[in-house]
Amino acid sequence: MWVLLLVLLGAVCVSSVGVGLWVVCRHFFTVDIPAAISHPVKLRVLDCAFQFLVTWGTILEKVGICSMPQFLSLMYNLLPIKRDPDVVVKDLRFGTIPVRVYQPKAPSCTLRRGILFFHGGGMIIGSPKNYHEVCCRLSKESDSVVVAVGYRKAPQHRFPTPVKDCLVATIHFLKSLDLYGVDPTRVVLCGDSAGGLIAAVICQKLIDRSDLPKIRAHILIYAILQDLDLQLPSYQQNGNGPVMNLNFAFSCLCYYLDIKPYWKSAILKGAHMPVEVWKKYRKWLGSENIPDRFKKRGYQQVPLVPFNEDAHLETDITLDLMNAPLIAEDEVVSRLPEAFIVSCEYDFLRDDSLLYKKRLEDLGVPVTWRHMEDGFHGVLSTIGLWGFYFPCSTRILNAVVHFLKGL
């Protein structure tokens, strides 16, 4: 028995060395680390560590042990968290939805603002625990009650379960603000990456709910806001960026929307949508809406390719507004609450934020925008990640806190 265990352990060690060498070699051949990003060596190590876990998760999925997202989530949840003595943290449930509530320990003579925080992770990984320090600091530094929502994720729970979970949690919180000492005129929705998508969708869903307090503002940190056009300048420029690159994002899309990876080429080329769809949404998605300064790092206009009806039949779910709040009608977008938008220069999703910003501004919705010239996708989640902290993440958090204090 012990001999068998030793053999298995040895096999795992040898396999890990092999996987590690393959990941490092692939990293140096395929990943672009921009010179403008501070601590490039640290970023290379972070990217290799993440890709190492993704590769092992993929191997375990292929042999039928567990899915890649399950393995990543398990590894993420092994990371320790740092307790803050100035913040009271409670794990609760809003109905069946697990939430983590953060409240400043110091008493307040006035009602506090409330923040519903939706974490990123492509709808397949991540949890409130992984954003514990972010939420602690948000609560303490902005003197707010923060509710981090632990929504269910793909592949076990595909579209639209994550968004619906967050909508249920939001409505529950809005109906019980008095229990948490929250000012009903100062409730904010906040999210990064896929969490930003959730925040934008929920804002649209609650526009006509006269029985609930109105959302005061929504904060979108390098949010994904559409899955239609993957040939925007930022997708071309930053598709091979570190950590959360375009390939991983497409894998998330397949898990979440139950799309076969076979259609990747058609989707990337835009063959999955008929000409009339591109014509309808060009006024909002067209690259002409992106300022010229964001097109200088090698962008080429991609002509339309022949329509692939089979690809469309499987991927038309990307037109659902719960996947693409950016393409909602003007009548909806014009009634959205004030927005705070963070974009990162070296993020493949950068242009989603720029397009959303323009739409809101064109329709008269107040927008505060912060652009991180040295930012990359997922940088906020490095807060509290041991030695993998990047200064850009603190600047993002400080900018969010400053905005919140002005509400």
Q: How far apart are CA 276 and CA 273, in angstroms?
A: 8
Q: pLDDT per residue over 85-108, tens digit each?
A: 999 999 999 999 999 999 999 988
Residue 3 lies in a domain: no
Q: pLDDT per residue over 233-277, tens digit each?
A: 999 999 999 888 999 999 999 999 999 999 999 999 999 999 999
Residue 251 lies in a domain: yes
- Which residues, 6 or more positions from 306, have their beta carbon under 8 angstroms from its beta carbon? 271
Active site residue 352: no
Q: Which entry of 218, 272, 312, 377 is annotated as an active-site residue?
A: 377
Active site residue 347: yes
Q: Which domain holds residue 19?
A: 8-407
SS3 285: helix
CA angle 173, 175, 177 (to 5 degrees): 65
The answer to whether the Cα torsion of 162, 164, 168, 174 is positive or negative is positive
CB 285 within 8 A of CB 233: no
Residue 1 lies in a domain: no
Q: Which entry of 193, 234, 343, 393 is annotated as an active-site residue?
A: 193
Residue 2 lies in a domain: no
pTM over 0.75, yes/no: yes
Q: What is the pLDDT of residue 12?
A: 57
- Domain total of the chain: 1
| CATH code for the domain of 325 | 3.40.50.1820
* DSSP alpha helix (H) spans, 191-329: 194-205, 233-238, 246-257, 264-269, 275-285, 309-315
Q: Which entry of 47, 165, 192, 347 is annotated as an active-site residue?
A: 347
- Containing 50, the helix (H) or strand (E) segment is helix 40-62
Residue 138 lies in a domain: yes
Residue 188, beta-bridge partner list: 115, 217
Q: What is the pLDDT of residue 302?
A: 82
Q: How far apart are CA 213 and CA 216, in angstroms?
A: 9
Active site residue 377: yes
Rounded to a whole number of angstroms, the CA Rg of the chain reads 21
